[in-house]
Structure 1
Amino acid sequence: MSIGLLRAGLPGLAIALAPFGASVAHEVVGNRFFPATLTIDDPGVNDELSFPTVSSFKTGDDPSFRQRDFSGEFSKRITEAFAISIGSTYSHLSPPGGLTGMGANGFQNVETTFKYRIIKDPTHEFVMSVGLSVEWGGTGAQSVGADPFNTYTPTVYFGKGFGDLPDSLFWLRPVAVTGQVGYAIPGRRSTTTFGIDPDSGDLTADTEFHPHVLNWGGSIQYSLPYLRSAVVDLGLPDFINRFIPLVEATFQTPVSNTFTSGTLTTGTINPGFIWAGNKFQVGVEALIPINRQSGTNVGVIAQLHFYLDAIDPRGIGKPIFGNVEQPATPFGRN
């Protein structure tokens, strides 16, 4: 389910293999509510719609371009533990001031993710899923960096809440961490572009190698809904009790076939918050590049995310195969 964000951070890649996640799930494990995070995928398997997700940032190109992305993603459970999601992104690239004829607009490649939850432990608030994401080459515009070949990314996702901490550490019980580790495998080892040397008239060949990339990241969250419902009610207004402050981080490290890309890790640190309702959530985060190759200046990402299993639990929010289950919620019914 990932949709490309920090695409220009890897030397030798027009737009990187390692995409950013537009998140496709929220998950309730025991007392713990894992929200759909914005830049990595969370470990849940549910019926969801992320629309829209919008972001604006400056790429790691030299000169740096302003990239604005508008994306959507739909996730559908086949069974209670298995879901398929599909999504894509429309990108607008604006050149730096003074340059003309270098901008571009178009869709990124369509991406499909197959995801299966393998562990759900309510007592220890632990959940783990495995998945395979396929970026379908040729479904997007090469002018915005969409590759003409498929990329396959097997991924492990996990989440752990700290609600099982002892009473002496009760103030840490609202904390949760999530993470993912994926390995992006391009369907083509290299691409060779032929041309003519303008001085000699000789035929030239330029070969770009497509690296295998380790996509990794995580989040740390402090859940005010959990604080109120499972630790202590501080008497805060209901609007405040729905906030989940968090910091996400997403990184990409080329690990093989790196002859033209190099092995530099790129990525962003993303502080922000999620406000969660019973049927939808809103999230906003800053995008802080970790180095020059990851981008210039601080960007921003925002998302509106719908819980289809809460909106229509007996219709579009119901698994295709399996019984209808009342969707869990960390809040009382309004």
Structure 2
Amino acid sequence: MSIRHACVGLSGLAIALVPVSPSAAHEIVGNRFFPATLGIDDPGINDELALPTVDSFKTGDDPSFKQRDVSGEFSKRITEAFAVSFAPTYSHLSAPGGLTGMGASGFQNIETTFKYRVFRDPVHEFVLSVGLSVEWGGTGAKSVGADPFNTYTPTVYFGKGLGDLPDTLSWVRPVALTGQLGYSIPGKNSTSTFGVDPDTGNPTIDTQFNPRVLNWGLTVQYSMPYLKSSVVDLGLPDFINHLIPLVEAVMQTPVANTLTSGTTTTGTINPGVIWVGNTFQVGIEALIPINRQSGTNVGAIAQLHFFLDDIDPHGIGKPIFGNAVQPASPFPRN
């Protein structure tokens, strides 16, 4: 699972049931292991704990604030194909230019995501999930930008490995794509702030329209574990064979109710790498803003992520309804 930045909404919608393949730890489809990514949410349905996730970047405000976040996410499967996750985030905003009295610290709104896997095709290494993310208004601090109203984001997630390519393209087989497409709907169309005109003393009203936002993103990954186990063993050091280099694109585009927000797309391009073990993974990425509105410098994000379904498959890693998972290594065999 991925981090929820204060400025980035992520999510999904739980719907109908369809048959899926037998239960296994992680999101493994055929020989393809889809890691938990840091920028966008992966398509997996798992028992996981991301703790901690830390990031640092400069906001797109003018002047820019330096924002540091520390967050966690706990995902629990209700059934083999349906999970619920909870994600708190603590933010610290440093005032620009060392100004006093302008910084702030506090929790962002709690976010809950309900996610359901609707389709999995092991032969073509394809998985599709849907979900609904709810940001609970009023659970965070207004001083760090937490909204007083709920925001609902139905989302579609997918993952596709290229392991079904012909032998002539065997070096491309370790490549995988994951992505998400969500539509954030604020619980209130507008927010009004009441004040007093300092010159006339008359009351004033400042109304900000809360836009509906298209949250979209894509990752391109190259799995060294897949290269060794399913394509060719190059005799590389074991550390290298555990790496998954990747690039993520994390974007937001206001598409409705945009009178005061505008329609400019904001987001980051995040190159980085994930090291994968049998029971945990570690990831680190740069955060490169795509324009001035997205930020003013290159930031960074890092995460430690635990696979609870492998650590304790008969306890906390077991679905509430259903059988214990079958431990499955992220490192496939021919």
TM-score range, shorter chain: over 0.9
Give distance in 2, aligned partners of 1:30 and 1:225: 14
Give distance in 2, aligned partners of 1:20 and 1:153: 7
User: Structure 1: which amino acid aligns with 2:111?
Assistant: E
Residue in 2 that maps onto 1:279: 279
Residue in 2 that maps onto 1:19: 9
Moved more, 268-277 or 189-198: 189-198
TM-superposed deviation, 1:120: 0.6
Asked whether the equivalents of residues 6 and 20 of structure 1 are also in contact (C-alpha less than 8 Å), the reply is no
Provide Cα deviations, 1:23-79, integer angstroms capped at 9, x if missing partner.
Answer: xx9410000000000010000000000000000000000000000000000000000
Asked whether the equivalents of residues 113 and 133 of structure 2 are also in contact (C-alpha less than 8 Å), the reply is yes
TM-superposed deviation, 1:329: 1.3
Provide Cα deviations, 1:157-183, integer angstroms capped at 9, x if missing partner.
Answer: 000000000000000000000000000
Q: Which runs of 5+ in 1 are unaligned?
A: 8-17
TM-superposed deviation, 1:326: 1.2
Provide Cα deviations, 1:122-143, integer angstroms capped at 9, x if missing partner.
Answer: 0000000000000000000000
Residue in 2 that maps onto 1:212: 212
Give distance in 1, aligned partners of 2:62 and 2:269: 21
Q: Percent identical across equivalent pairs?
A: 77
TM-superposed deviation, 1:3: 5.1
Give distance in 2, aligned partners of 1:152 and 1:3: 17
Asked whether the equivalents of residues 3 and 111 of structure 1 are also in contact (C-alpha less than 8 Å), the reply is no
- Any idea what SS the aligned residue of 1:226 has? helix
Residue in 2 that maps onto 1:304: 304
Residue in 1 that maps onto 2:164: 164
TM-superposed deviation, 1:273: 0.1
Give distance in 1, aligned partners of 2:26 and 2:142: 33
Give distance in 2, aligned partners of 1:249 and 1:331: 26
Asked whether the equivalents of residues 113 and 131 of structure 2 are also in contact (C-alpha less than 8 Å), the reply is yes
Q: What is the TM-score when the length of structure 1 is the normalising length?
A: 0.93
TM-superposed deviation, 1:113: 0.3
Q: Which runs of 5+ in 2 are unaligned?
A: 12-24
Provide Cα deviations, 1:192-239, integer angstroms capped at 9, x if missing partner.
Answer: 111111111111111000000000001000000000111011111221
TM-superposed deviation, 1:331: 2.9
Give distance in 2, aligned partners of 1:27 and 1:42: 9
Give distance in 1, aligned partners of 2:184 and 2:256: 11
User: Structure 1: which amino acid aligns with 2:153?
Assistant: T
Asked whether the equivalents of residues 2 and 19 of structure 1 are also in contact (C-alpha less than 8 Å), the reply is no
What are the equivalent positions in structure 2 for 1:1-150 lying under 5 Å apart?
4-5=4-5, 7=7, 18-19=8-9, 26-150=26-150
Give distance in 1, aligned partners of 2:288 and 2:298: 5
Runs of 4+ in 1 over 6 A off after TM superposition: none
Moved more, 294-303 or 25-34: 25-34
What are the equivalent positions in structure 2 for 1:231-250 lying under 5 Å apart?
231-250=231-250
Asked whether the equivalents of residues 26 and 42 of structure 1 are also in contact (C-alpha less than 8 Å), the reply is no
What root-mean-square deviation, in Å, do the aligned CA atoms of Structure 1 and Structure 2 show?
1.5
What are the equivalent positions in structure 2 for 1:173-322 lying under 5 Å apart?
173-322=173-322
TM-superposed deviation, 1:20: 5.5
Provide Cα deviations, 1:279-310, integer angstroms capped at 9, x if missing partner.
Answer: 00000000000000000110000000000000
User: Structure 1: which amino acid aligns with 2:9?
Assistant: P
Give distance in 2, aligned partners of 1:35 and 1:4: 17
- Any idea what SS the aligned residue of 2:113 has? strand
Residues 98 and 330 of structure 1: is their aligned pair in 2 closer, same or farther, counting only changes over 3 Å? Answer: closer
- Any idea what SS the aligned residue of 1:233 has? coil
Residues 241 and 2 of structure 1: is their aligned pair in 2 closer, same or farther, counting only changes over 3 Å? Answer: closer
TM-superposed deviation, 1:90: 0.2
Figure out how many residues of one structure are paired with residues of the other and give that number.
320
Asked whether the equivalents of residues 3 and 39 of structure 2 are also in contact (C-alpha less than 8 Å), the reply is no
Give distance in 1, aligned partners of 2:254 and 2:246: 27
Asked whether the equivalents of residues 77 and 318 of structure 1 are also in contact (C-alpha less than 8 Å), the reply is yes
Residues 77 and 4 of structure 1: is their aligned pair in 2 closer, same or farther, counting only changes over 3 Å? Answer: closer
TM-superposed deviation, 1:98: 3.9
Q: What is the TM-score when the length of structure 2 is the normalising length?
A: 0.93
